[in-house]
Chains A and B, each alone.
Chain A
């Protein structure tokens, strides 16, 4: 499967725990984007990364959220001390050579905070 791979697909966390969401871009893609979608709402841009670099994190909440895309391995979106309002679908997308290219989405990770 050459598509964008996300895991876990579903994650349940208690308030105060940490959530880690992983994303492997499509083969040959070097740009990764994370979006959040709250129930019945649109996709909100969170962060744009290239290997070992955060290009744009203007959509990331100032606290508790962080993202990385290491030289080796998947991109990781980390949410510390989760709260109920973090419950959402988190979509990763990737694009090929430039950020102007079309972005392709993974299947998403659904986070539920109880």
Chain B
């Protein structure tokens, strides 16, 4: 079982729609959860982080965390063509010697104009 699993997509949504990206993780000791966006040929950039169960909203983005189900999601409202990118779910959890952040393989999102 992969430590962090994401549907590779591609996920295609029309402009203005809600894009829903999902992620599951295997380490129950995980403490921190992140969503990064990566455009082709560029480095990942942080969109949101979430530590507690429930929802966290920032502009058009909402992160949802359910630790009991080991599930994290990202909702993008009013999707724009500029949101087209690969979205990486990342989880930071205890490991021997300290914490480290592990990434999923990413979900490709296409927003059609």
Contacts and interface: CB of A to CB of B under 8 A. Distances in A.
Contact of B43 (A33, A42, A58, A106): A106
A102 B100 CA distance: 10
A56 B43 contact: no
A33 B102 CA distance: 11
Most chain A CB within 10 A, of B88, B98, B100, is at B100
Given A42-B106, A99-B92, A100-B92, A56 B45 contact: no
Instruction: Kindly state the interface size class of chain A when it binds its partner.
Output: 20 to 34
B32 A100 contact: yes
Most chain A CB within 10 A, of B43, B49, B96, B101, is at B43
Interface of A: 33, 35, 41-45, 48, 55-56, 58, 91, 93, 98-100, 102-108
B33 to A, nearest CB: 11
Contact of B97 (A41, A42, A43, A55): A55
Nearest to A50: B98
Q: Which 6 A-B pairs have the closest CB atoms?
A: A42-B105, A99-B99, A43-B103, A105-B43, A56-B97, A55-B98
30 contacts: A33-B101, A35-B103, A42-B88, A42-B104, A42-B105, A42-B106, A43-B44, A43-B88, A44-B103, A45-B101, A45-B102, A48-B98, A48-B100, A55-B97, A56-B95, A56-B96, A58-B95, A91-B43, A98-B99, A99-B92, A99-B98, A100-B99, A102-B32, A102-B34, A102-B49, A103-B101, A104-B46, A105-B36, A107-B43, A108-B43
